[in-house]
Amino acid sequence: MGRPATARRHADQGLTTMFATCTAPDPRHRDGNQVVFLAGDDESTKTPFTRLLTESGFAPVGLGALREGGALMQLGGPLSGKHFLLQG
């Protein structure tokens, strides 16, 4: 059964631009929590995903809409493959 023609399509981007060796271990470090940058066009999708990441020990940082924020994270973008800890 397909989606109704009127259904909105949602897209979010987050963990896809990070090295697995950095996300596989516990994201909680002595100096802070592993930052995950998020971009998406639908707040109703981003909100539960942000909550799940936070509960898992990550520090989600929103970058806005998928077009702009996604461009920052995609391969070749300034945040691609970068890893940060949120302190405090």
pLDDT cut 70: percent of the chain above it: 73
* pLDDT at residue 1 tops 80: no
> What's CA 25's distance to the chain center, in Å?
17
Give 38-57 pLDDT, tens digit per residue.
888 888 888 888 999 999 99
Q: Which residues of 30-41 are buried (b: 16+ CB within 10 A; e: fewer)?
A: eeebbbbbbbbb
